[in-house]
Chains A and B, each alone.
Chain A
Amino acid sequence: MSKIGNIPVNAQAGKKRTNPLAGVFDELVQFCQSRSMFMLHYCTGCGAIELPPAMTSRFDMERLGIQPMVTPRQADILLVTGYVSVKTLKRVILTYEQMQSPKYVIGICSCTVNGGMYWQSYATAKVLNEYLPVDVYIAGCMPRPEAVIEGMRRLMRNIEEGKGHAWKDYFQRYDYYLGNQQHLFGDDWQTPTDIIGEARHYGLETEQTYGEHTRILEQHQQPLEPHKMRIKF
């Protein structure tokens, strides 16, 4: 496997890249990637209230090339804006798994770092990094729009320097993340996305992709079925 920037491509094992321009091309791709980012802001908590000022006229995030995007399938950044309750965390994971690689997660507010002021709460998940690979945390309660923009710029720098690899960690250590998710949601937790298949497809599987938790998942996994009408009215 070899990489061009952040985009993994399947190359035959053992075959080296010989093109001397490949490095230049890498940098070009990274530069372009870092300057056209679509973010999906999942309003999980209070931090969402500082995003409208950051996005609109006064602080104007768009001048950095960052625009809001309404669907996860076309978004590059997942913004988790604040505490995630267990009920929300399920949806955040579903959303994250539907995003296309390369994808980045930004955790806003102290609550995503270590529970914040809701550390006592029975309903919120404490460390977001246990369930999703987080690229950048923006601490504060709540961070000002300037801080949000500074966090975005940090992410842009990371991508430009080729350091934004957290999303690969999700494939490489899927067992760890799945284990934490199962601990919270129960053993029958499954998402419609086939992460192991994707890891294999991208050539990102390692020994830690598999483990006891993925075995539990295989036992419980049920084939996807058409959604049934099940709301009780």
Chain B
Amino acid sequence: MNCEEINLWLDTLLAEIEEIEVTRKSERRVRVDVPASSLPALLELLKGKASYVHLSAISCVDWPDDEEFELVYHCWSYEAKSLLSAHTRIPRNSAQEFAHYVSVYDIYKPAAFFERDIYEMYGIYFESSPYMEKFILTEWNGPPPMRKDFDAEQYVNDTFNWADYHPQWLQELEEDGGGIAVRPEDIRL
């Protein structure tokens, strides 16, 4: 199959899935918005029938105002030479400890790494993903740090001390009425 055939085939495939929204951003970038329930089916079709065999990444975006997490699956086809980003949204479930979603490990093996990463950083539990344990943040006991409601700066100021730096030259300047005009904590934008 050449590129155009695959692209045509892709369009017919995508038409089969309900509530799907396809945007062609450029020659080699396709954006697809699907409801969370039909995403695994879409990926299955993409890999099995449209040659999108390479899962480049799974990105997660936190939207606390909408009470939602956005999951983006970036799939690459070596034959059609195009990158398809499948966007989906799942509820944030701030009342429960974890938001839940299904793993796509049985379709794409690389998903295991990204799902574990998202589980650690955002606290989204992927059912039937093989390694749902701590990997990078083994020494971390706090909330999932990448969530928008975790204030890293506050945490750092509460936990760590800073070294004093008040050398002779600065003291002399201050005696003459000078000094650091704007303190670092005031330069916030």
Residues of A within 8 A of B (CB): 86-87, 90, 113-115, 119-123, 125-127, 129-130, 183-185, 232
Number of interface residues of B (CB under 8 A): 18
The listed residue (A119, A127, A184) touching B156 by CB distance below 8 A is: A119
Residues of A within 8 A of B160 (CB): 115, 125-127
Evaluate contact between B162 and A114: CB separation under 8 angstroms.
yes
Tell me, rounded to whole Å, the shortest Cβ–Cβ distance linking B148 to chain A: 14
Q: List 15 A-B contacts (CB under 8 A).
A: A86-B140, A87-B138, A90-B139, A113-B163, A114-B165, A115-B162, A120-B156, A121-B156, A122-B145, A122-B150, A123-B140, A125-B160, A127-B161, A127-B162, A184-B159
* Given contact pairs A121-B156, A126-B156, a sample of 17 additional A-B residue pairs in the complex whose CB atoms are under 8 Å apart: A87-B139, A90-B139, A114-B163, A114-B165, A120-B152, A120-B153, A120-B156, A122-B145, A122-B152, A123-B137, A123-B140, A123-B145, A126-B161, A126-B162, A126-B163, A184-B159, A232-B133
User: What is the bound-complex CA distance between A127 and B133, given in angstroms?
Assistant: 30
Residues of A within 8 A of B145 (CB): 122-123
User: What is the bound-complex CA distance between A87 and B134, given in angstroms?
Assistant: 13
Residues of B within 8 A of A86 (CB): 139-140
Residues of B within 8 A of A (CB): 133, 137-140, 142, 145, 150, 152-153, 155-156, 159-163, 165
Residues of A within 8 A of B138 (CB): 87
Residues of A within 8 A of B137 (CB): 123
Residues of A within 8 A of B165 (CB): 114
Residues of A within 8 A of B163 (CB): 113-114, 126-127, 129
Among B139, B153, B155, B162, residue most surrounded by chain A Cβ atoms (within 10 Å): B139
Residues of B within 8 A of A113 (CB): 163
Tell me, rounded to whole Å, the shortest Cβ–Cβ distance linking B158 to chain A: 10
The listed residue (A122, A127, A129, A184) touching B155 by CB distance below 8 A is: A122
Residues of A within 8 A of B159 (CB): 122, 183-184
User: What is the bound-complex CA distance between A169 and B156, given in angstroms?
Assistant: 27
User: What is the bound-complex CA distance between A127 and B156, given in angstroms?
Assistant: 12
Tell me, rounded to whole Å, the shortest Cβ–Cβ distance linking A112 to chain B: 10
User: What is the bound-complex CA distance between A78 and B142, given in angstroms?
Assistant: 31
Evaluate contact between B156 and A130: CB separation under 8 angstroms.
no
Evaluate contact between A122 and B156: CB separation under 8 angstroms.
yes
User: What is the bound-complex CA distance between A86 and B156, given in angstroms?
Assistant: 12
User: What is the bound-complex CA distance between A120 and B185, given in angstroms?
Assistant: 12
User: What is the bound-complex CA distance between A215 and B32, given in angstroms?
Assistant: 60
Closest to B133 in A: A232
Tell me, rounded to whole Å, the shortest Cβ–Cβ distance linking A117 to chain B: 13
Residues of A within 8 A of B139 (CB): 86-87, 90, 185
Closest to B150 in A: A122
Residues of A within 8 A of B155 (CB): 122
Query: Which 5 A-B residue pairs are closest in the complex by CB-CB distance?
Result: A126-B160, A114-B163, A87-B139, A122-B152, A127-B163
Residues of B within 8 A of A121 (CB): 152, 156
User: What is the bound-complex CA distance between A125 and B159, given in angstroms?
Assistant: 9
Residues of B within 8 A of A119 (CB): 156
Residues of B within 8 A of A130 (CB): 161
Among B133, B162, B165, residue most surrounded by chain A Cβ atoms (within 10 Å): B162
Tell me, rounded to whole Å, the shortest Cβ–Cβ distance linking A20 to chain B: 40
User: What is the bound-complex CA distance between A232 and B131, given in angstroms?
Assistant: 10
